[in-house]
Amino acid sequence: MHSDPASTEERLHRVLNQRLRPAVHARTVPLAVEVWHVPGEPVPVADALAAAYGPARLGDRWGPAWSTSWFRLRGRVPREWAGLPVEAVVDLGFGTTEPGFSTEGLAYRADGTAVKALNPRNTHLPVAARAEGGEEVVFYVEAAANPVVMHTGPDQLTFGVTAAGDRAGWLAEGAGQDGGAGHGIGNGDGDGDGDGGDDSVAGGRPPRGEPLYRLRRLDLAVFDEVVFELVQDLDVLGELMRELPEQSTRRWQILRAVEDALDLVDLQDVGGTAAAARRALAPALAAPAAGGAHRISAVGHAHIDSAWLWPLRETVRKVARTVANVTELMDGHPEFRFVMSQAQQLAWLKEHRPEVYARAQEKATTGQFLPTGSLWVEPDTNITGGESLVRQFVHGKRFYLEEFGVETEDMWLPDTFGYNAALPQLMKLAGVRWFLTQKISWNTTNVFPHHTFLWEGIDGSRIFSHFPPVDSYNSGLTGAEVAHAERNFQDKARTHRSLVPFGYGDGGGGPTREMLARAARLADLEGSPRVSVEGPAEFFPKARAEYPDPPVWVGELYLEFHRGTLTSQHRTKQGNRRSEHLLVEAELWSATAALRTGAAYPYDALDRLWKTVLLHQFHDILPGTSIAWVHREAEQTYAEVTRELRELVDTAQRALAGGGAGAAGGPRVVFNAAPHARGGVPAMGAAPRAGDAATVRPVPSGDGFVLDNGLVRITVDGRGLITSAYDLAAGREALPPGAAANLLQLHQDFPNRWDAWDIDAFYRNTVRDLAGADEVAAFDGTADGADRAGSGVRVVRTFGDSRVEQALTLREGAHQVEIDTVVDWHEREKLLKAAFPLDVRAAHSTAEIPFGHVERPTHANTSWDAAKFEVCAHRFLHVGEPGWGAALVNDSTYGHDITRDVRPDGGTTTTVRLSLLRSARFPDPEQDQGRHRLRYAFVVGAEVPDAIREGYRLNLPERAVPGTAEVAPLVAVDQEGVVVTSVKLADDRSGDVLVRLYEAHGRRVRATLTPSFGVASVVVTDLLERPVADDGSCAAQGAGVRLDLRPFQILTLRLVPRRP
């Protein structure tokens, strides 16, 4: 008889899916069901258990989008099932090919303890390992009707325009809002609608809207363990067989074993013949792996986006479901290890589901539940500011230490959209030794050359790093994935070890018993890598010991994908930028007031506000890639954060200024939170001042105007464009002949997929210059109520359905023209940029990143260079030649592009453009519609130190309050290149002063830090404010501290005040 491999594989697929898998739960009896529809936002468990349930039945439709229904399931185990394992099997209407992203449920017992979750590929609930027979079964299932946002309409269109991500209109206004965390669980009155009313009618009042789901299965069933194991045997061998070379002996041996096993299965008596089939497979499963087989550390994992295609409040429940699942799985699988990487999610669990949190803590003591990652959330690391990244480590690591007694040593960021080059130093200063991501495998142009390597940051810090070659953080440990991990591993010549994160994320419920069964069979199986279930703390030391001299990657890890995340959802990005700077201001002035006046330091308020801002730096919120619900809530949250922080700043400044309420026109004290002096006010200090630097008056010239302050001369033509920017001191024109700057350009912006995420290179093929102006006029004073003081040139443009109004101003003594821009934006699938062509032959651009800057080539010589056609810069981007350059500084823009061309006259034009606004339509069809106000400035004749200084000044404006007091800064530094980023009181409430600073110019520097208060001692600390050994960076020197810093070195000092 001739073998037919294709026929056997097809036979195996059909028998497995149509006969064997269903036979795992072949013996069933139905469960009775009742329902209570929550009329509004989710409610506490106790309220749901006490609710009045109404009749329901299998096949009922339920769940308008974002609603919650509680199902009470009742049944009795048949007496003839005594001694058998019994489970409930519940299908809430999953009906999807995705492991998550749709409806989910969490089952509770009648006493309110959580059992486990129900997910599309995890539908069982444990009843009894060995039933007594006749016992009653009662479950309460909290079912969430989350819409499938990614696939919509009758054709299940991917990335289609949909309103599914809007906050449901039937939700009571304000229900579940908590002023920032956005994770409301109801008001405790049992009706969930936020109004305190009584919805005690049986079954509740179903919310308005079309039901999305239908109850498909509600059974008590015998769990046939032998059939289950047979399914896993065939699953593993079948997948391995398909991955082996067609002519390999091992493949044909497995093929024969599978044929024999299938022949032994009676499809009308699967349970009775499964054991015989398993015996036929046993020899194939017992063959050991080769001695040099690749080794895989399988780490249980569930990547849960803290918000994305669902609101923050839903993530609270996703976390509870997943943790309930994995802790239940740990009960029966002591070898199972599961990592959880976002401290914020565990904090939510502690607050809202303490019984599930207690289970996590219990399993942490057994070494099965492993807090990891070291961060508060998994943040975006392109856009997030430096001090915020510090606090991500501080609050993440501190939570794990206080709640679990664990000092995490890894940074786990599998899904973030690129990684800035300051991170290795930050990790090192936080006590982190290892870094993991797999996102760079999403590159669309270049394949990253390593999977295990040392990552070197801008200061020279190196971190041992690993990119799982499985190219997934949601692996199911399938044969295809395990084989791909080995084939794809780039470093196999020197090492044979990699990591695979396995488990369904984002509502899939995490790892499953089927995955653990695969891992057990793949532990030592011929033809397969060896798989061990273990944690990162076991993998990384072994990988490092095995690879003592790995290759080195220097600089940023740029993701060649998702470039649009630097611009999408401008209000979210602006809210973050302003909150970051206000937090630094609030700490600075509160610490100053505490030492100078004895004012109380607002520890609790600052802690809460920092955590709120850190949460919103999650890598699908700050990048602008979440549904409308998330971003509208974020806008409200940032507004509240801004209000609170301004109150803290104002309270501290008034206490310091000593001027009382003050009268209009009376004496004022000007506070300067920037790290550089300006206008006679010291850095981080305050001084009385009569007025601000005046803005120069525009002088008519031709059809336009000239702004001239004796340092630079700016010419604005009748189109409202800058046609000349002349550096009077250098005697040099900044613009190329015939070119115009501050040219707004509109591009069609419809990427091939991932709308809010991506800007595809072909966007450059279509451009419209917005050179026409409706109005170009001089103004003096406030311009038409736009809150713009001073004098300047006002330009109004309209295009499509949108309007732009800009005010161009030049201050006395300044080298930059400031451009205050208000956009009423109503375009669709468009990208708005502002272009500044410069007469500069720049070999590279210099862009600010956290705690430093990076240089990127302006050419596209290689595919690596060409792929960086949209890049990130924080407060500034600079281009120049030796001795002269120019910069753009901004208050809320991150996306930039830089191109270079040679003109017919032989000169070189380097063009820098800011990406101001986008209008993608998925997942938020109303992205960025409406009014925006943003500011940027064109700095003429600037070197990098000038760009650094002006970037800080634009983002940390002076603030004036009534008074006459002069406020000396708590600390002063005598070198401009040493930038102080944080002055605050220590978190331990000791009253010690924490100062964080860094070398900003990229060169070695010796400086002196001088406190203005008596200091008993100075201690170098890590980011968590714990003492560390001094590496010679600082030493006491008279009343000050001598600093010797390497390029871009970050230093944190604890100054202990001298006390009576």
Q: Which residues are part of the catalytic machinery?
A: 415
H-only helix segments in 748-906: 863-867
Which among 941, 905, 889 has a CA at the least distance from the CA of 736?
Answer: 905
Q: Which residues are 138's β-sheet partners? A: 74
Residue 41 three-state SS = coil
> Based on the number of CB atoms within 10 Å of its own CB, is 299 exposed (0-12), middle (13-18) or buried (19 or more)?
buried
Q: What stretches of 547-627 show up as alpha helix (H) in DSSP?
A: 570-597, 603-615
Distances (CA, A) of 879 to 525, 859, 882, 1000: 57, 13, 10, 17
CA distance 1011 to 1014: 7
Whole-number Å distance between alpha carbons of 642 and 663: 25
Distances (CA, A) of 328 to 126, 212, 509: 9, 29, 11
Task: State yes or no: cis peptide before 923, omega within 30 of 0.
Answer: yes
Using CA atoms, how far apart are residues 234 and 240, in angstroms rounded to an integer? 10
C-alpha 867/C-alpha 556 separation (Å) is 14
Q: How far apart are CA 405 and CA 1022, in angstroms?
A: 18
Would residue 527 be called left, alpha or beta, if left means φ above 0 and alpha means ψ between -120 and 50 degrees?
left
**C-alpha neighbours within 13 Å on the C-beta side of residue 848:** 29
Contact 823, 916 (CB under 8 A): yes
Partners of residue 782 on adjacent β-strands: none
CA distance 411 to 427: 7
Q: Return phi, psi of residue 930, to 5°.
A: 110, -160
Query: Minimal CA–CA distance to 301: which of 515, 460, 619?
Result: 515
> How far is residue 488's CA from residue 471's CA, in Å, rounded to a whole number?
9
Check if the beta carbon of residue 474 is closer than 8 Å to that of residue 507: no
Helix (H, G, I), strand (E, B) or coil at 23: helix
- CA pair distance 569, 597, nearest whole angstrom: 41
The verdict on whether omega for the bond into residue 120 sits within 30 degrees of 0, i.e. cis, is no
Strands 852-857 vs 930-940: parallel, antiparallel or unpaired:
unpaired
Sign of CA dihedral 247, 249, 253, 256: positive
Query: How deeply is 651 buried, as exposed, middle or buried, from its count of CB atoms within 10 A (0-12, 13-18, 19+)?
Result: middle
SS3 314: helix
Residue 595 phi/psi, 5-degree rounding, is -75, -35
Q: What is the CA radius of gyration of the chain?
A: 31
- As a whole number of angstroms, the distance between CA 531 and CA 388 comes to 38
| Closest to 504 in 3D by CA, of 123, 242, 215 | 123
Q: Is the dihedral of CA 739, 741, 747, 751 positive or negative?
A: positive
Query: Tell me, what amino acid is at 239?
Result: E
Q: Which residue has the tokens 């820098």?
A: 912
Q: Please, which residues have CB within 8 angstroms of residue 390's CB and are 6 or more apart in sequence?
A: 426, 430, 982, 996, 1023
Residues 166/147, Cβ–Cβ less than 8 Å? no
Longest dimension (CA), the chain: 104
Q: Strand 1034-1037 vs strand 993-999: parallel, antiparallel, or unpaired?
A: unpaired
